[in-house]
Copies of this chain bind each other. A is one copy, B any other.
Amino acid sequence: MSILIVGSLAFDDIETPFGRSDNTLGGSSTYIALSSSYFTDKIQMVGVVGSDFGNEHFELLHSRNIDTKGIQVIDEGKTFRWAGRYHYDMNTRDTLDTQLNVFADFDPVVPEQYRDAEFVCLGNIDPELQLKVLDQINKPKLVILDTMNFWIEGKPEELKKTLERVDIFIINDSEARLFSGDPNLVKSARIIRQMGPKTLIIKKGEHGALLFTETGIFSAPAYPLESIYDPTGAGDTFAGGFIGHLSRCETITDTELRRAVLYGSAMASFCVEKFGTDKIAALNLLEIEDRYHSFRELSRIDE
């Protein structure tokens, strides 16, 4: 089934204790699209870049069968840029620089041929833009939304309005506490699910993720990696693996949602092993299945 992905495309300057990488292809929709491209070949991107977004970047996306016709290229404009530095524990980062550039005036236009998309993944952008995208889709089967503390604090009412039309909401633990006003994640989940999304995923970074559905809670472990080189994009890569797996399911059952969380986790665990998109742009299906099964083994108890 087709997945429509909206979000940022960017160039990142990343510093971690293990090195640095400048002018690295990044952005929420880039990570989501690359990650989900291992699960389906019908991926459509909506976004905006400047004329500095070179052919090599489009070619990389095309090499993964990603349809980029929905990416507007602004002549003489510059692509969104972000610079950040991670600390030794990799859980905290400082944003050193943000240049919105062409993203400042982004007005998402969903091409005619994308409007029947069955799966819609709204990456982390202004909730008003996320809603604008939804208004252009005919009848999506499933809408997934990711956001961040910047929008929770800056546009909570707009975010709530958009969430009314969302099926699955992905958020991290500190954002869930901030948005709900409750430090307890179980209570937070109840409060947030009442805003619309029946299914909620709370990501806990190195501690895995919690999936809240109508039937209960699923706790997915994080893969205990020996080396984490760069956490940039891990959350988006999770979302890509998650929606990617769901897009190939005939029916979305609780079991498939649980599996999708593990596929998302597996993809995210690859993402952090190299800088930027280096790792997730060059995976093969066998290693993805291997990693998925390693995740399964992590919490399996034979009866």
Interface on A for B, CB 8 Å cutoff?
88-89, 183-187, 204, 207-208, 210, 216-222, 224-228, 255, 258-259, 262, 296-299, 301-302
Contacts and interface: CB of A to CB of B under 8 A. Distances in A.
B224 A221 contact: no
Contacts of A302: 255
B184 A226 contact: yes
A224 B186 contact: yes
B224 A210 contact: yes
Contact of A88 (B183, B227, B262, B301): B183
5 contacts: A184-B227, A187-B226, A219-B221, A221-B299, A299-B299
A179 B99 CA distance: 43
Contacts of A226: 184, 186-187
Given A186-B224, A210-B224, 10 more contacts: A89-B183, A185-B224, A186-B226, A204-B207, A216-B297, A217-B224, A217-B298, A218-B298, A219-B299, A255-B301
Nearest to A190: B226
Contacts of A208: 207, 219, 221
A63 to B, nearest CB: 32
